[in-house]
Structure 1
Amino acid sequence: MDKNSLTERDICSKYITPAITAAGWDLHKQVREEVSFTKGRIIVRGKLHSRGESRRADYILYHQANLPLAVIEAKDNKHALGAGMQQALGYAEALDVPFVFSSNGDGFLFHDRSGTGAQKETELSLGQFPSPEELWQRYCQWKGLSGESQQKAEAPYYDDGSGRMPRYYQMNAVNRTVEAVARGQDRILLVMATGTGKTYTAFQIIWRLWKSGQKKRILFLADRNILVDQTKNNDFKPFGQAMTKIAKRQIEKSYEIYLSLYQAVTGNEEEKNVYKQFSRDFFDLVVIDECHRGSASEDSAWREILDYFSGATHIGLTATPKETKEVSSITYFGEPVYSYTLKQGIEDGFLAPYKVVRIDFDKDLQGWRPPKGTRDKNGELIEDRVYDLKDMDRDLVIEARTQLVARKVTEYLTATDPFQKTIIFCDDIDHAERMRQALVNLNPKRVEENRKYVMRITGDDKEGKAELDNFIDPESRYPVIATTSKLMTTGVDAQTCKLVVLDQHIKSMTEFKQIIGRGTRINEDYGKYWFTIMDFKKATELFADPAFDGKPVVIYNPEGDSTPVPPDETEGEEGDVIDGGAGATEGDETTGGGADDDGKKRVKYVINNVAVHVIAERVQYYGPDGKLITESLRDYTRTCLKKQFASLDDFLRRWSDAEQKKAIIDELASEGVMWEALAEEVEAKRGQPLDPFDLICHIAFDQPPLTRKERAEQVKKRNYFAKYSGAARQVLEALLDKYADTGVEHIEDIKILQLAPFSQIGAPIELVRAFGGKPGYQEAIQALESELYAS
């Protein structure tokens, strides 16, 4: 058989796989073929969504089930030996793999990313493929592992028998951490975006270190009680009887895995310091969840725990490492051994993208100045100055503004899904309560159905806090809307939250990223693929800050020899504490008011006789480059299309040459063209549906569009069907009608022959025979498309 005529799969089975097995690789334990290691970016199209293509490696070779060593990219024999190398290098970079191969069946081009070989790229014959032992030794050389550390790095993952494997980035994080511990590193930082499975990653790290005997007693610290309970009952469940949760009482020291809330083991009074019941060397591993909180602060009571167990290995987990002039996660833990950002998570399809609805009010942007001598609702004399956005709900409450926010939220929910889980972030508890009341009054029927349709979930309200579990439970319908201040900023695994409303002044990047993280989880079982951010206080301007998804930079710099006195919490504008530090109750929040620089309580004026109006409202989409599309959808699409097609002639040629127009439509969708949203915008002005062909011609090249119906009528006028008769002609006429109704993608799918009216003409196989067989049918479809787009 001519090798040149073989498919890529044939090349794999006849040449590449035999070469691998001849080198000693176990196909069942060490080799995985056609590995899709991402899910494909979710592309939001108006109210609908689709997924882009996942990244798929032809082969990944492992030392053990979860230690990837090499990637092989295969091509058919029409390609050169190294044709797949650049593609494979991209995969290898993502997978943290040092050895990269490209093959067309004649041999291998070998690229060594580790630098352990004599040269970067080498051509190998099929019989020269390296053995598992050779690549493992070179891998250990690359990682700086030898002797005992090499054995420690081989510690196995937890396997529940279900075949579940960590995602590729989780595997990278676990492997890098275990290898760092094996090399003797005792302060380790992992940065992983909210929703990417930090706790599961921590479990696999602890499991490998515990089962291999490297770490015998482990302390896991979290800063929310709900996080400790979720961890114990879910990801850490396999630890079983070896695990316990620490409470403020006498400690039982017979366990091996201890979970604790920071606040449960520290306090201002000596007797509350439960951790001192343990000897300083009791734990040999301490894992700190959300380590951007108090553990980064040198004078923190939480930090006392880490200092007390300073002889242990400390692993910090966070989505948002804190880097200020006073606090530094990196100064304490060192540079992250691995980072996986929100942008990467969305690009890979593991995290939900978002669209932003930005709404601006006249009083926020233009300001409001009270007439001289004006008193507020409570009789307070209002200070004579201009009040604008930075004052709203902090110094000045305009009741009409609260009502307008609640109305816009209600309108959005009514137009989309009134039961989508919604979190509204307010400035303080008073604001959250006012928002709850406004929403209750705007949704009387919903509240009548169930009083928990809207709930205030804040740290001071026991009934509200008690509903937190129900809010995050996908199976619990109520509460639907949660108004909050700070309690739900972190530690809330709200998988089905589809709307995040920002009516809060947010100046801290750490807090902003945590809040956005409330919506980034995907839950396909409940139809959660993306979410909406509704912004009333310009908080989403922080998306444009390079720090939003960039690498953390150390700026910690205490002056002279003085000890820094960093806060334990994120600070808001004017230094108001917005989250409790050590010794604070869980979810501390301000009730309202705040304080001036001289320490006096700040007056919050309340006015009920000033109108507020919307002056601007726009929708921004998450673009393929990770940035919000701030231009109009039409302008964005034109830019997108011009990158693909140099000219109208270029587009027409590619459209005409495509065997299936659906391929071009899907390709453009994966590049960010939002067909559904675009069609809604353009068709709203024309009144009839347009073909993607006409949308492209009209948007990118300013051509006057034809509707699908107009294109179909032109084909009929040209009497195109004259050369066909009988069933064939009936099928083509029906296909033309289908095109007018539903578009070109549907008529290209042969399965359409199973549906009415085709099923009334004859069975699919009979209809295909009417064209002389499948090739004749496909030729007729292509001819029909040529007629449709002839003009």
Structure 2
Amino acid sequence: MANTNQHPEQIARDKIDQLLQQAGWAVQAKNKVNLNASQGVAVREYQTDVGPADYVLFVKRKPVGIIEAKREKEGHHLTMVEEQSTQYAHAKLKHLNHDPLPFVYESTGTLTRFTNYHDPKPRGRRVFGFYTPQTLTQWLEDYRKSGKTLRGNLLDMPTLNTAGLRPAQIVAINNLETSFKENRPKALIQMATGAGKTFTAATFIYRLLKHANAQRVLFLVDTKNLGEQAEQEFMKFQPRDDNRKFTELYNVQRLSSSHIAPDNQVYISTIQRLYSILKGQELDESAELDHPNESTWLQNQLQNKAPMPVVYNPKLPLEMFDFIVVDECHRSIYNLWKQVLDYFDAFLVGLTATPDKRTFGFFNENVVSEYTYEQSVVDGVNVPYDVYLIETEVSQKGATIEAGWQVDRRDKLTRRTRWQQEDEDTIYTKNNLDKKVVNPSQIRHIIREFKRALQKDIFPKRYDDQGEYQVPKTLIFAKTDSHADDIIKMVREEFGEGNDFCKKVTYKAQEDPKSVLNRFRNNYYPRIAVTVDMIATGTDVKPLEVLLFMRDVKSRNYFEQMKGRGTRTVGDDALKQVSSAAQHKTHFVIVDAVGATKSKKTDSRPLERKRSVATKDLLGAVAMGASDEDLFLSLANRLVRLNGQLSPTEAEGVLEHSGGKSLPQMTKELLAAYDSDTIDTAAQALMQSQGLPSLEMAREQAQAQLIETAGSTFNGELNEYLENVRREHEQIIDHINLDQVTKAEWDTSSTDRAQAMVQDFSQYMADHKDEIEALSIYYDQPHQRRHITEKMVKEVLAALKADKPTLAPLVVWEAYTALEKVKGSRPEKELTALVALLRRITGLDSVLTAYDKTVDRNFQDWVFKRHSGSSPKFNEEQMQWLRMLKDHVATSLYVDIDDLDYSPFDAKGGRGKMQKLFGNQIQAIIEELNEALVA
């Protein structure tokens, strides 16, 4: 403990001494210098020709840098003393002949800034402490060999080889490298889910290692699952300028313990593990299963009044990594975890599909790439989606359990049930469903209607070769683990299937969730997976075609991440491997059974941060003075939930035990303690009333007061009362109020999208009718349709795919089905779908009609006219042959005499057989058919 009677300058120097020693420096007085004592020696008050320098740093007996020490309260002035410290760096040291010293620090012992004057356009930056002597030795050696530092190397990066990269990836990498050249410490890459963020990262990391002489790069994730996926991506990555894989060129280590091998180039770690390594603590493996904002590992901090801050760790020096890539950075850069990022002196690169205002702020609004979901759909990187709504009476209005009814009451955790006769009416709303009350009928009717809608409206053509309906790969989002169990039970019953058909994929599942997830991704079974959080974000299941929301989500970011599970494109062969009845993944469908697509969304993060910590422990921690943000926000979340369940009598009891504060008031105070706007307002008031010297000091005092106000309410008596009230609110199983479906239809906004798509398609065709031959015929010379060949229609399709990939014929076909009654089934081939669409938009057909239906109708008309006229009637053998010609036109648009030499005609005798059947009329018959069938 520092001596309070010490001079402020001495206090600062004591702190600096300690930081230097931690980093491996021997600190010596000027009259007791021994440069042989250590590789790095820091000499106090060393004499220069402009006066004594506070510290001069020697590495291997040679001077390399200086430290300008300042008092604690002068921390905000450090940038103003850069000229002074530079003067010392250029001064002549007593007894020595040397060049200007390149490594310059300004420090109060609490705040430290550093400038490397070997850098191009040297710029000071805040650092956590001091670099090790070994690091400065390496930097000097690298500079001696090349004349460049890392920042110098970044200025000379070679042009990016764009082969194999998508346009959005090219933009992201080029802009990021421009940001590096400008020496910007933080950069944000916003890239839609499915657009290849990790591949993009592997590409620029490879370039940094090879061309910028970067030594070590950290790829930071927030769940073990994401770390494993990243490791697989690096293992698969092969650069364009080398035949070897990334992992054959560079060592990649995914941290699974506290051991960090020093000879690797890429490290993959969860932010939780890195925090535990810095703290020198063992990490509970369960901490890596949840997102950091929901991590249970922090419960070990509850015994402290505040989470212990990160301190210097010699095993992991602050300069360990040159670059840190933060995956899913919208959720892993705040609060306790921000300390990890602040500790390291590295360029920070954020990756996310769904940034919010805080994300932009953290990365200094340096957004080097913005690639949205909508842009990715236009580029064909992701698929679009439609929304199908299911509403039931209970889902919308709730119900009433009347006094006298006998119902089940179930413990949420143990699932143990007991009968109870109700003493009073229980009115529950839709918000209480699956929390306070479980209504099996409500779940059953949603699942039953979902089954019907799949077969009739959503994917009606999914019948396999045996005529059985094949459920598309479906992911159901449940509210809780117990809700997931209820859903699984209903799904198996309503679909008449066994255990393999529907599985739970949560961290609490008895089966290995990773094994179930792999089967869901790659095998036929399960067809339906139910999850709470585990595969809501960051997990790739490309064959997914349906997302069923049975839980609402208020966070816009989280909803977009959940929605992103269905956006991935997948090759036809890969899709058929797990869904044999599917042809193409042209879109996915959100089935909204809870209003998730309609509810108001916010940019806020989930309040709940400590899911596994009991409410009574949260209350006890606050009562004992604990005040970290996760703790306050989690308790606020629990109180919000509890307030929704309170009876009027219980609410009065809360007021009695809390000194007149209601649960909403307590919640507001807990949230206010960490709300930036509230803190700023209070700080401004303090500055005016107390004349504080800086806004930062005012903010600290204001927040301390807000924390004290929020925490002072809680005491043993109130906590016991709240816990007793909470225990009273078990789940009621309502078997009595039977539900019924009130709505099952496409979302009107989906209809709007369908209308816009049809209009875009029609406009594109009209705009290009003078450029593409087939379009010219359809619009201006319809009598020439018999001359349209398969090659001509392929030309239209190729132009459409190049200019408007989102207007794929099969997708536009689905849009029409949302707007009008369509004749016939959706075609399997894009060409025949395109012909049918062209006939519809040019007015040849009044409604969209499958091309095979048009050909069948025209064939019947042609045969009838032939038979009713003077021409001789065809016999049965001739009719069989004509039907083959008709079927060929239905799939290939046109038949030529040369086609008779190929399948299926060659198996029936080919050209010779037709010659025998029709004699010298063969060419005339073919021409008649071509003209009649496309009428």
After TM superposition, give the deviation of residue 314 of structure 1 in Å.
0.2
SS in 1 for 2:533: coil
After TM superposition, give the deviation of residue 521 of structure 1 in Å.
1.9
Q: Which residue of 2 aligns with 1:506?
A: 553
Contact 1:267 1:583 in 2 (8 A): no
Q: Are residues 699 and 484 of structure 1, via their aligned partners in 2, closer, same or farther at CA, if it must alter by over 3 Å?
A: farther
Larger gyration radius, structure 1 or structure 2: 2
Say whether residues 1:219 and 2:218 are aligned partners: yes
Selected match of 1:522 from 560, 564, 569: 569
Contact 1:712 1:740 in 2 (8 A): yes
Q: Output aligned runs, 1:579-590, within 5 Å.
A: none
Q: Which residue of 2 aligns with 1:342?
A: 373
Rounded to whole Å, the distance in 1 between the matches of 2:915 and 2:389 is 53
Long gaps (5+) in structure 1: 1-145, 158-163, 548-554, 557-564, 572-576, 585-589, 622-626
Rounded to whole Å, the distance in 2 between the matches of 1:503 and 1:187 is 38
Q: Which residue of 2 aligns with 1:434?
A: 486
Selected match of 1:394 from 431, 435, 447: 435
Contact 1:267 1:301 in 2 (8 A): no
Selected match of 1:489 from 510, 529, 536: 536
Say whether residues 1:614 and 2:622 are aligned partners: no
| Residues 498-522 of structure 1: per-residue CA shift (max 9 Å, x gap) | 3321111122211111111112222
Rounded to whole Å, the distance in 2 between the matches of 1:747 and 1:457 is 47
Rounded to whole Å, the distance in 2 between the matches of 1:342 and 1:218 is 28
Q: Which residue of 2 aligns with 1:59?
A: none
Q: Are residues 223 and 683 of structure 1, via their aligned partners in 2, closer, same or farther at CA, if it must alter by over 3 Å?
A: same
Say whether residues 1:403 and 2:444 are aligned partners: yes
Q: Output aligned runs, 1:625-704, within 5 Å.
A: 628-630=750-752, 641=762, 653-658=780-785, 659-660=787-788, 670=808, 673-674=812-813, 678=817, 681-683=821-823, 692=836, 701=846
Contact 2:788 2:894 in 1 (8 A): yes
Contact 2:234 2:247 in 1 (8 A): no
Contact 1:455 1:464 in 2 (8 A): no
Contact 2:360 2:367 in 1 (8 A): no
Q: Are residues 772 and 294 of structure 1, via their aligned partners in 2, closer, same or farther at CA, if it must alter by over 3 Å?
A: farther
Say whether residues 1:289 and 2:327 are aligned partners: yes
Rounded to whole Å, the distance in 2 between the matches of 1:176 and 1:570 is 38
Say whether residues 1:151 and 2:151 are aligned partners: no
Q: Which residue of 2 aligns with 1:261?
A: 270
Say whether residues 1:712 and 2:859 are aligned partners: yes
Contact 2:840 2:846 in 1 (8 A): no
| Residues 196-215 of structure 1: per-residue CA shift (max 9 Å, x gap) | 21111111111101111342
After TM superposition, give the deviation of residue 381 of structure 1 in Å.
5.9
Rounded to whole Å, the distance in 1 between the matches of 2:779 and 2:877 is 27
Say whether residues 1:185 and 2:184 are aligned partners: yes
Say whether residues 1:358 and 2:389 are aligned partners: yes
Q: Output aligned runs, 1:107-256, within 5 Å.
A: 150-154=155-159, 165-236=164-235, 238-240=246-248, 242-256=251-265
| Residues 238-277 of structure 1: per-residue CA shift (max 9 Å, x gap) | 2356221223424333322111011112259943369943
Q: Are residues 245 and 333 of structure 1, via their aligned partners in 2, closer, same or farther at CA, if it must alter by over 3 Å?
A: farther
Q: Are residues 740 and 604 of structure 1, via their aligned partners in 2, closer, same or farther at CA, if it must alter by over 3 Å?
A: farther
Contact 1:508 1:570 in 2 (8 A): no
After TM superposition, give the deviation of residue 704 of structure 1 in Å.
12
If the length of structure 1 is used for normalisation, what is the TM-score? Answer: 0.61
Of 528-537 and 194-203, more deviation after overlay is shown by: 528-537
Please tell me the residue identity of whatever aligns with 2:737.
V
SS in 1 for 2:230: helix
After TM superposition, give the deviation of residue 403 of structure 1 in Å.
1.9
Q: Which residue of 1 aligns with 2:347?
A: 313
| Residues 118-158 of structure 1: per-residue CA shift (max 9 Å, x gap) | xxxxxxxxxxxxxxxxxxxxxxxxxxxx996552253768x
Rounded to whole Å, the distance in 1 between the matches of 2:218 and 2:168 is 24
Please tell me the residue identity of whatever aligns with 1:195.
G
After TM superposition, give the deviation of residue 366 of structure 1 in Å.
4.7
Q: Which residue of 2 aligns with 1:536?
A: 593
Rounded to whole Å, the distance in 1 between the matches of 2:312 and 2:385 is 42
Selected match of 2:507 from 444, 456, 459: 459
SS in 2 for 1:235: helix
Rounded to whole Å, the distance in 1 between the matches of 2:752 and 2:731 is 35
Contact 1:243 1:256 in 2 (8 A): yes
Q: Are residues 330 and 249 of structure 1, via their aligned partners in 2, closer, same or farther at CA, if it must alter by over 3 Å?
A: same
| Residues 60-102 of structure 1: per-residue CA shift (max 9 Å, x gap) | xxxxxxxxxxxxxxxxxxxxxxxxxxxxxxxxxxxxxxxxxxx
Q: Are residues 613 and 639 of structure 1, via their aligned partners in 2, closer, same or farther at CA, if it must alter by over 3 Å?
A: farther
Q: Are residues 783 and 611 of structure 1, via their aligned partners in 2, closer, same or farther at CA, if it must alter by over 3 Å?
A: same
Q: Are residues 175 and 468 of structure 1, via their aligned partners in 2, closer, same or farther at CA, if it must alter by over 3 Å?
A: farther
Task: Tell me how large the CA RMSD over aligned residues is.
Answer: 5.2
SS in 1 for 2:206: helix
After TM superposition, give the deviation of residue 171 of structure 1 in Å.
2.3
After TM superposition, give the deviation of residue 566 of structure 1 in Å.
9.2
Rounded to whole Å, the distance in 2 between the matches of 1:282 and 1:675 is 54
Q: Are residues 469 and 456 of structure 1, via their aligned partners in 2, closer, same or farther at CA, if it must alter by over 3 Å?
A: closer
Q: Output aligned runs, 1:740-759, within 5 Å.
A: 744-748=890-894, 750=896, 752-753=899-900, 754-757=902-905
Contact 2:477 2:532 in 1 (8 A): yes
Contact 1:216 1:256 in 2 (8 A): yes
If the length of structure 2 is used for normalisation, what is the TM-score? Answer: 0.53
Please tell me the residue identity of whatever aligns with 1:465.
P
Rounded to whole Å, the distance in 2 between the matches of 1:787 and 1:465 is 59
Contact 1:316 1:333 in 2 (8 A): no
| Residues 101-121 of structure 1: per-residue CA shift (max 9 Å, x gap) | xxxxxxxxxxxxxxxxxxxxx
Please tell me the residue identity of whatever aligns with 2:910.
G
Rounded to whole Å, the distance in 1 between the matches of 2:848 and 2:201 is 56
Long gaps (5+) in structure 2: 1-150, 237-245, 282-309, 410-419, 463-468, 576-583, 612-617, 619-627, 632-636, 645-662, 668-721, 770-775, 801-806, 826-831
Q: Are residues 271 and 531 of structure 1, via their aligned partners in 2, closer, same or farther at CA, if it must alter by over 3 Å?
A: same
Say whether residues 1:423 and 2:475 are aligned partners: yes
| Residues 737-773 of structure 1: per-residue CA shift (max 9 Å, x gap) | 35765764534154753234575353499979x9999
Contact 1:739 1:747 in 2 (8 A): no
After TM superposition, give the deviation of residue 404 of structure 1 in Å.
2.4
Rounded to whole Å, the distance in 2 between the matches of 1:421 and 1:275 is 49
Please tell me the residue identity of whatever aligns with 2:750.
L
SS in 2 for 1:674: helix
Rounded to whole Å, the distance in 2 between the matches of 1:180 and 1:772 is 76
Contact 2:252 2:268 in 1 (8 A): yes
Contact 1:219 1:285 in 2 (8 A): yes
Please tell me the residue identity of whatever aligns with 1:660.
I
By relative contact order (CA 8 Å, sep 6+), the higher-ranking structure is: 1
In proportion to residue count, which structure has more helix?
2
Q: Which residue of 2 aligns with 1:304?
A: 339
Rounded to whole Å, the distance in 2 between the matches of 1:268 and 1:149 is 30
Q: Are residues 761 and 206 of structure 1, via their aligned partners in 2, closer, same or farther at CA, if it must alter by over 3 Å?
A: same
| Residues 544-581 of structure 1: per-residue CA shift (max 9 Å, x gap) | 99x9xxxxxxx99xxxxxxxx9958699xxxxx9xxx9
Q: Are residues 205 and 478 of structure 1, via their aligned partners in 2, closer, same or farther at CA, if it must alter by over 3 Å?
A: same
Contact 1:218 1:258 in 2 (8 A): yes
SS in 1 for 2:567: coil
| Residues 690-735 of structure 1: per-residue CA shift (max 9 Å, x gap) | 99387668897579999644432433455499999999x9999778
Of 345-354 and 666-675, more deviation after overlay is shown by: 666-675
